[in-house]
Amino acid sequence: MKFCTYCGKEIADEAVICLGCGCNTQKANSFTSPRATAPPQEIIIEDTEPQLATWAKICGIVSFFIGWFALGITAIVLACMSKDETNGTMCSSAKVGYVCGIVSTALSFILLIVFVAFITYLSI
């Protein structure tokens, strides 16, 4: 919790506007924040995370719900491809996609085997 700089009312940390007086609670912070003077740095950070890595992460996470090993393998491939753009090392997004891809591919194969075994068991 933090306190409104205008009226002193207790407000949530993520609150943008004070519920007590309606003032912009982030106004005071934004003037003193060093982030406001460093937008070029943020662009550099974006450059080190290639789009392929972002797609790998999205595919990896989505593959848990739909697509299963089809999207899981896509995530692994995209993560490996993104390594070429980041000098052979995986960035955090690519790692997330890679791990999620492996886990969902493994899970979907296990489920497939269990399903096939179950069908075989029923048909005997």
Site residues for Zn ion per CB under 5 A: 4, 6-7, 9, 18, 20-21, 23
Residue type, 9: K
Which is nearer to Zn ion, 21 or 114 (by Cβ)? Answer: 21
Smallest separation, CB 27 to Zn ion (Å) = 11
Which is nearer to Zn ion, 7 or 114 (by Cβ)? Answer: 7
Return the ∠ at Cα 28 (arms to 23 and 31), rounded to 5°. Answer: 135
Smallest separation, CB 12 to Zn ion (Å) = 12
Smallest separation, CB 22 to Zn ion (Å) = 7
Dihedral through CA 86, CA 88, CA 91, CA 93, nearest 10? 100
Dihedral sign, Cα of residue 2, residue 8, residue 10, residue 12: negative
Which is nearer to Zn ion, 24 or 51 (by Cβ)? Answer: 24
Q: How far is CA 40 from CA 25, 30, 35, 36, 47, in A?
A: 26, 17, 10, 10, 11
Which is nearer to Zn ion, 15 or 61 (by Cβ)? Answer: 15
Smallest separation, CB 14 to Zn ion (Å) = 15
